[in-house]
Amino acid sequence: MTAIIIAVHVIVCLLLILIVLLQVGKGSEMGAAFGGSSQTIFGPTGPRSLLEKLTAGAAIIFMVTSLSLAYIAAKKPQASVFSGAPGTAPAGQPQAPEGAPASPQPAAPQGQPQPPPLGQPQPALPPQR
């Protein structure tokens, strides 16, 4: 269903661009306001042309498909690229080999004191000279 709406959306988008580019600009009539006949600027323009009707129809279809795609995207569950990947570790944490227990803290290098467990107060440091 989503693929059909996307295909219609892209086709209508391209048609809308072509229809707008084919239309004659209205700016040529505005030049008459500065010295020429200004009756055509605000006067009746006559019946709507076929291109104007096509533009209105394509714009309506474009808006409906845009809203439909937004509604469908909002209803989909949010999934990550890594949600289905087996054995992924969060960023910054090395992945433990299979069968090895995962340690909560990395071991301290030899000769250095171990930090206290989480939730325990830090020992007082000796005064520095």
Model pTM?
Answer: 0.48
The yes-or-no verdict on residue 10 having pLDDT over 80 is yes
Q: How far is CA 123 from the centre of its chain?
A: 49
Over range 38-52, report the average pLDDT. Answer: 62
pLDDT at 36: 53
Residue range 70-101, pLDDT digits in tens: 999 998 877 777 776 676 555 566 665 666 55
Q: Contact, 20 vs 28, CB < 8 A?
A: no
Residue burial 81-112, b: 16+ Cβ < 10 Å; e: rest: eeeeeeeeeeeeeeeeeeeeeeeeeeeeeeee
Residue range 23-38, pLDDT digits in tens: 877 665 555 556 555 4
Domain ranges in the chain? 1-24+50-75
Over range 38-66, report the average pLDDT. Answer: 78
